[in-house]
Amino acid sequence: MTNRLSGKRVFITGAAQGIGKAIAEAYAAEDARLFLVDRDETLLEETAAALASKGTVLGFQAADISDASAIEAAVGKAEEQIGSINALVNNAGVNVFAEPLQTTDEEWQRCFDINLKGAWHCCRSVLPYLISEGGGVILNIASTHAFTIIPHTFPYPLAKHALLGMTKSLGIEYAPQNVRVNAIAPGYVSTQKVIDYWNSFPDPEKAKADTMKLHPGGRIATPQEIAMAAVFMISDECSFMNATCLTIDGGLSVMQHQ
């Protein structure tokens, strides 16, 4: 590796497993300092310990991103432990999938509290640090659900559409302060979240095979394939990309038919 992220002090949510963990590992390999947040304390401690054992400078805090005061406190702790934050990766998210007319108020609330408002809590707490640092970067992990719809996944795509809207809005608002705000839209990625999705079908093996068949290349992404783009997008090599979204789905959302 080439120390592409030396000097970056990155706050990453949902970092205990899946895409967030892969991003943390890729950033650590490029010499970033990290502050990891996840609501799964046990997994978070394991991930942090594994990274620390390889020499990564990091801190971590178990917190739920839907809790604004917990996030505010975590950002303060991050500054004490790794220095003033100059990059944020809003990765934590959950699937909330229902039929529109069957969606309960509780499901609606949980979907937006985590997938949209949680990301906003982190932006609101971190932005003053980015501005006082003379600039910085926010990377939101959206989804191809931010611009396409899979039936029976309501209201998750609504929250991801709005997360893309927030990416554009904050990118424009804070460009004069040298803050870049972008998103990655992954398609299917092999994480626990997707395994849980397949397991929600009567025949999970068939559901998995059907997902693979949807893709022009016959497979889905690894978390590392998302993480390598995430390295570039917070790096100084990416200095003029702002208020936009990079799709990483193996071509799925462009293909009209198999």
Segment interacting with ligand NAD, rule: CB under 6 A, options 25-33, 73-81, 192-200, 204-212: 192-200
Query: Residue 49 contacts by C-beta under 8 Å, 6 or more apart in sequence?
Result: none
- Rounded to an integer, what distance in angstroms lies between the CA atom of residue 141 and that of residue 210? 24
Indicate the residue among 84 and 190 with the shorter CB distance to ligand NAD. 190
Query: Residue 92 contacts by C-beta under 8 Å, 6 or more apart in sequence?
Result: 13, 14, 20, 37, 38, 39, 65, 114, 118, 119
- Do 221 and 188 form a contact (C-beta atoms < 8 A)? yes
157 contributes a contact to ligand NAD by CB under 6 A: no
Distance of closest approach, residue 165 Cβ to ligand NAD, in angstroms? 15
Query: Residue 124 contacts by C-beta under 8 Å, 6 or more apart in sequence?
Result: 68
The one-character DSSP state at 187 is: -
Query: Residue 50 contacts by C-beta under 8 Å, 6 or more apart in sequence?
Result: none
Distance of closest approach, residue 2 Cβ to ligand NAD, in angstroms? 25
Q: What angle do CA 243, 31, 228 make, to 5 degrees?
A: 50
Distance of closest approach, residue 141 Cβ to ligand NAD, in angstroms? 4
Of 5, 10, 12, 19, which one interacts with ligand NAD (CB under 6 A)? 19
Of 9, 27, 35, 66, which one interacts with ligand NAD (CB under 6 A)? 66
Q: Give catalytic residue positions.
A: 156
64 contributes a contact to ligand NAD by CB under 6 A: yes
119 contributes a contact to ligand NAD by CB under 6 A: no
Indicate the residue among 19 and 162 with the shorter CB distance to ligand NAD. 19
How many chain residues interact with ligand NAD (CB under 6 A)?
A: 29
Sites of contact with ligand NAD (CB under 6 A): 13-14, 16-20, 38-40, 43, 64-66, 91-94, 114, 118, 141, 143, 186, 188-189, 191-194
